Amino acid sequence: MSKRRPFVAGNWKMNGSRAESAALLDGVKAGVSNASKAEVAVCPPFILIPLAAEKLAGSAVAWGGQNLNVNKSGAFTGEISGPMLKDFGCSYVIVGHSERRSLYGESDATVAEKYGAAQAHGLIPILCVGETLAEREGNQTEAVVARQLDAVLAKHGVASLKNAIIAYEPVWAIGTGKTATPQQAQDVHRFIRERIAKQDKGVADAVRILYGGSMKGSNAGELIGQPDIDGGLIGGASLVADEFLAICRAAD
Ligand code: PEP
């Protein structure tokens, strides 16, 4: 059993009316208690963060953003900064999600900058890494994940991982209903931990590495039961309270 506290985060992506989100927040809050072993967080779209703050204040569920701008404020139309997220009670922010990398052209260098900006403003970055199907089929999985991780470690140092969470999200498994097998996921999680351990074994042992990619209540237990898998970053299944709570229970 892992000595690290399990962590389950929901990435709502661009989903949810105000009414649907209020019901979802109420449902998640009702199902997660302070006695839960797993730490739980939800990352709604920016516009719903005040609602999350209102609904979740004082509960066992934290909240965070899905992205941030690296600047504090200024002429960046359409953007949201770290201090703004912090002001609305966010504890976490996702950086480097594959959709940001592929649809919005975020490079490893940009992701590393965002990771640093998050930490500079008191937010814990959830750093996403993962390979595409073509990269996996070309035996590039480890090289890709290493490159994405190294960009952050080179800029911010291995000690920065004391205040970060990593999410391994194979791109081919995100939103596809195709989950990595527990062994496939465990192999990459171990690779990531061993790579960090080459720089600092203590940090490697402590850092939480989540799996993301079509995780649901029915497959969460087996995935999170792997020695190097410390929880999940959940997309689709985080939009259904009962499904998300089933994953939280599996992580408990
Ligand atoms: C995600 O968007 O981070 C994700 C893992 O999505 P899904 O659970 O829907 O595959």
Higher pLDDT among residues 85 and 177, named by residue: 85
Q: pLDDT confidence of 2, banded at 50, 70, 90?
A: low
Q: Which residues of 143-162 are buried (b: 16+ CB within 10 A; e: fewer)?
A: ebbbebbebbbeebebebbe
pLDDT in tens, 26-60: 999 999 988 889 999 999 999 999 999 999 999 99
Minimum CA distance residue for ligand 1 atom 3? 235
- Whether 15 is in a domain gets the answer yes
For the question of residue 99 being annotated catalytic, the response is no
Q: What is the pTM of this model?
A: 0.98
The answer to whether the CB of 62 falls within 8 A of the CB of 94 is no
C-alpha to C-alpha distance for 163 and 207, rounded to whole angstroms: 8
pLDDT (tens digit per residue) in 74-107: 999 999 999 999 999 999 999 999 999 999 999 9
Question: What CA–CA distance (Å, rounded) separates 17 from 24?
Answer: 10
Structure tokens at 56: 């979740």
Residue numbers of the domain that contains 22: 7-251
Exposed/middle/buried for 69, CB within 10 Å: 0-12, 13-18, 19+?
middle
**Is residue 65 within 8 Å of 80, Cβ to Cβ?**
yes
Domain count, the chain: 1
Residue 69 counted as domain residue: yes
In a domain, 2, yes or no: no
- For the segment 187-244, what is each residue's pLDDT rounded down to a tens digit? 999 999 999 999 999 999 999 999 999 999 999 999 999 999 999 999 999 999 999 9
Which of 79, 70, 82, 21 minimizes the C-alpha distance to 48? 21
Q: How crowded is residue 47: how many other Cβ atoms within 10 Å of its Cβ?
A: 12
Q: Is the model's pLDDT at 1 over the cut of 60?
A: no
Structure tokens belonging to residue 229:
């898998």
CA of 75 to the centre of ligand 1 (A): 31
Per-residue confidence (pLDDT) for residue 35, from 0 to 100? 81
Tell the residue nearest (CA) to atom 8 of ligand 1.
Answer: 235
Does 37 map to a domain?
A: yes
Query: Which CATH number covers residue 243?
Result: 3.20.20.70
**Cα 71 to averaged position of ligand 1 atoms, centre (Å):** 27
Ligand 1: centre distance to CA 31 (Å): 21
User: Is there a catalytic annotation at residue 189?
Assistant: no
Q: For residue 185, with 0-12 CB atoms within 10 Å meaning exposed, 13-18 middle and 19 or more buried, which class applies?
A: buried
Residue with tokens 């990771």: 115
* Whole-angstrom distance, CA of residue 204 vs CA of residue 230: 12
Per 3-state DSSP, the chain is made up of helix, strand and coil in percentages (nearest 5) of 50, 15, 35
> Is residue 39 one of the residues assigned to a domain?
yes
